């Protein structure tokens, strides 16, 4: 593993460049930041202005400067920015309840179409086979579209998962740097509970995606059998190749473990960032009452120029 000082030296120019771009949108900034304190204060202003991505870059620069008095507050607010970024992703993304309802509706329609197709084939009734064929084709399209909607929601949840895992690590690091900061420990616990619920939601979506994929494949086989039993002159109209569309089961499915995110070379505190160790059993035990709507406000170090500890540190 490369020495931490080497990692910081290589990362610092990139962080500074990103921070300068972030400050370009900060109209309140008058003096270009130079010190860790400057970057921290500029980041805090952006954080208060809900410019979370830009604030994250500035806090990273503040942390990279390795200024001991500034470090705990900078790491703390870095966690706050990342948590807020994840909450914004969910807020702006697909409505999870609507996506789930659409999936359940498509699955119910698919199950009904399967039963009617099997029954029509067993009775060898032409009219019923034609009706079942048409119903099955529509149900299959609904399943395909619902799968895409669920996969899109999982993509957003996966990105949020990455942000929240890093935020939890940030709050834990802040607590290690300043053991007297009980807010950091409390925030880490809040984020980990939301992480557990997020993992639980991802697993439920994955299960739904797998079930719909199986239904769609089963319907495809039944449609082929129905089409083979319906005489050509009686065959319903349809787009060429529609009944034999290639299934992509397993290609669009996203597993929660695939969405955890990649380890970085090293965090700015000198420790490797790793995925939160949440097992499926732990994810299934989270409290249902927790909300992931971004409305919760974590305790935040939001005062510029305040000493990090009463009576100690520089008078900013």
Q: Could you report the per-residue pLDDT of 196-225, keeping only the tens digit for each?
A: 999 999 999 999 999 999 999 999 999 999
**Is residue 115 domain-shared with residue 56, that is, in the same domain?**
no
Do 178 and 126 lie in one domain? The reply is yes
Regarding whether 56 and 163 lie in a shared domain, the answer is no
In a domain, 19, yes or no: yes
Taking alpha carbons only, the member of 289, 270, 294, 271 closest to residue 163 is 294
Q: Rounded to an integer, what is the distance from CA 41 to the centroid of its chain?
A: 28
Q: Is the pLDDT of residue 29 over 70?
A: no
**Do 15 and 106 reside in the same domain of the chain?**
no
- Examine the domain organization and report whether 127 and 212 are in the same domain: yes
Same domain assignment for residues 131 and 206 = yes
Q: CA separation (Å) from 314 to 37, 69, 72, 219?
A: 10, 8, 14, 70
User: 217-252 pLDDT, tens per residue?
Assistant: 999 999 999 999 998 887 776 643 444 444 444 444
Phi, psi of 309 (to 5 degrees): -130, 140
* 307 is a domain residue: no
Q: Can you tell me the distance from the alpha carbon of 177 to that of 259, in angstroms, rounded to the nearest whole number? A: 29
pTM confidence score: 0.66
User: Which two structure tokens, joined as six digits, stand for 54?
Assistant: 């830009």
Q: Is residue 82 part of a domain?
A: no
pLDDT per residue over 41-60, tens digit each?
A: 999 999 999 999 999 999 99
Spatial distance between the Cα atoms of 246 and 265, rounded to a whole number of angstroms: 40
Give me the number of domains the chain comprises.
Answer: 2
Provide the 8-state DSSP code for 286: S
Is position 316 within any domain? no
Q: In this structure, are 224 and 148 located in the same domain?
A: yes
The answer to whether the beta carbons of residues 166 and 85 sit under 8 Å apart is no
Domain range enclosing 3: 1-67
Residue 1 lies in a domain: yes
Q: Quick one: 127 and 270 in the same domain?
A: yes
| Assigned domain for 50 exists | yes
Query: E-strand spans in 61-153?
Result: none
Instruction: Measure the CA angle with vertex 281, ends 148 and 161; round to 5°.
Output: 45
- Tens digit of pLDDT for each residue in 89-108? 999 998 888 999 999 999 99
pLDDT of residue 54: 94
Asked if the model's pLDDT at residue 63 lies above 90, the reply is yes
Residue 298 lies in a domain: no
**Higher per-residue confidence, 89 vs 284:** 89
Residue 216 and residue 146: Cα distance in Å, rounded? 11
Separation CA 312–CA 305 (nearest Å): 13
Q: How confident is the model at residue 124 (pLDDT cuts 50, 70, 90)?
A: very high
Distances (CA, A) of 122 to 115, 125, 133, 144: 11, 8, 14, 26
Judgement on whether residues 208 and 102 belong to the same structural domain of the protein:
yes
- Pick the more confident residue, 291 or 71: 71
Strand partners, 309: 312
Does one domain contain both 99 and 61? no
Residue 217 CA to residue 284 CA, distance in Å, equals 29
Q: Within this chain, do residues 125 and 251 fall inside the same structural domain, yes or no?
A: yes
CA-closest candidate to residue 199, choices 133, 129, 257, 263? 257
- 3-state SS assignment for residue 312: strand
Say yes or no: 115 and 264 in one domain.
yes
Q: Is 177 part of any domain?
A: yes
């Amino acid at each position: 593993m490369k020495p931490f000082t080497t990692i910081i030296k290589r990362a610092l120019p990139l962080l500074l460049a990103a921070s300068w771009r972030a400050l370009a949108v900060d109209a309140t900034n008058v003096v270009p930041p130079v010190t860790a304190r400057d970057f921290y204060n500029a980041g805090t202003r952006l954080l208060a202005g809900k410019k979370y991505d830009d604030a994250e870059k500035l806090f990273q620069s503040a942390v990279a400067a390795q200024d001991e008095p500034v470090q705990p507050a900078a790491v703390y607010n870095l966690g706050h920015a990342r948590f807020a970024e994840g909450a914004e992703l969910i807020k702006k993304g697909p409505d999870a309840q609507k996506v789930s309802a659409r999936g359940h509706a498509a699955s119910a329609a698919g199950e009904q179409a399967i039963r009617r197709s099997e029954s029509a084939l067993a009775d060898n009734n032409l009219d019923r086979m034609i009706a079942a064929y048409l119903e099955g084709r529509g149900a299959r399209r609904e399943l395909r579209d619902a799968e895409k909607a669920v996969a899109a929601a999982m993509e957003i949840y996966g990105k949020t998962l990455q942000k929240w895992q890093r935020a939890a690590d940030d709050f834990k690091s802040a607590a290690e740097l300043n053991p007297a900061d009980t807010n950091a420990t409390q925030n880490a616990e809040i984020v980990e509970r939301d992480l557990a619920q997020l993992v639980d939601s991802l697993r439920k979506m994955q299960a739904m995606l797998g079930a719909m994929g199986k239904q769609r494949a089963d319907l495809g086989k039944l449609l082929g059998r129905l089409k083979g039993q319906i005489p050509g002159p009686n065959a319903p109209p349809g787009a060429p190749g529609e009944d034999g569309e290639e299934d992509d089961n397993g290609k669009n499915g996203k597993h929660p473990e695939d969405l955890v995110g990649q380890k970085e070379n090293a965090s700015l505190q000198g420790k490797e960032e790793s995925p939160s160790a949440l097992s499926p059993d732990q994810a299934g035990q989270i409290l249902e009452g927790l909300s992931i709507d971004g409305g919760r406000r974590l305790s935040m170090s939001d005062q510029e120029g305040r000493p990090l500890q009463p009576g100690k540190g520089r008078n900013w």
